[in-house]
Amino acid sequence: MIEITEVELNEQPEAVLEAYARITSYFRYSVILDAVIPERGLGDIILRERTIPEKEKNYDAIEPPIQWARSWDLTKWGVFHALVGGEHVGGCLVAYDTEGVHMLEGRSDLSVLWDIRVSSQHRGQGIGSQLFSQALRWSKSRGCKKMKIETQNNNLGACRFYARMGCSLQSINRFHYQDFPEEIQLIWSIEIN
């Protein structure tokens, strides 16, 4: 049985984030989404799958979760752990009403699914869906009308997951990541009813 629990960040956010980071963000990929721009941008933008030699990505190596507590005040964030038989197997963080988090656009009716992860041996069991649903409920309880999510063109599994969860692709930014020019920022969003 899967249990989703909320974790308070008020007292020791760094300790909570250290525990959270024990579930790795590492993944391998061999398919990316290319942004095809017909007619120099006057036609539709098409995302087309392309097979590449296998690569790996670890978001935590770029920005470890503990850094979030050093960069922002997380006291208004939601943190959820997924437990199976008492074992921590996944989690998610939801940003809300936090100065300096640009994706929040300075609005109090918007949340951002900052991070969601499930251990590799527990994927495909509905844990991510339950975490996502909890993030929506938590956002709704704070009066949010929309939740946004950022991912990249090299995380096709995440893109498919967000589409399955009812999200729509909101924006494509081909030049967002200066340190990773081959990656395209994809912003998804879902209306909260």
The reported pTM is: 0.93
pLDDT value for 57? 96
Beta bridge partners of 32: 50
DSSP-derived secondary structure letter, 88:
E
Beta strands in 97-140 (DSSP E): 110-118
DSSP-derived secondary structure letter, 11:
S
Euclidean distance between the first and final Cα of the chain, in Å? 28
pLDDT value for 132? 97
User: Environment class of residue 16 by beta-carbon count within 10 Å: exposed (0-12), middle (13-18) or buried (19+)?
Assistant: buried
Between CA 59 and CA 48 the distance in angstroms is 23
Beta strands in the chain (DSSP E): 2-6, 26-36, 46-58, 78-84, 87-96, 110-118, 146-152, 168-173, 185-191
Q: 3-class DSSP state for residue 14? A: helix
List per-residue pLDDT tens for the chain, 193 residues long: 788 888 876 667 888 898 899 999 999 999 999 999 888 778 788 999 999 999 999 999 999 999 999 999 999 999 999 999 888 999 999 999 999 999 999 999 999 999 999 998 999 999 999 999 999 999 999 999 999 999 999 999 999 999 999 999 999 999 999 999 999 999 999 999 8
Q: What domains lie within the chain, and their CATH numbers?
A: 2-191 (3.40.630.30)
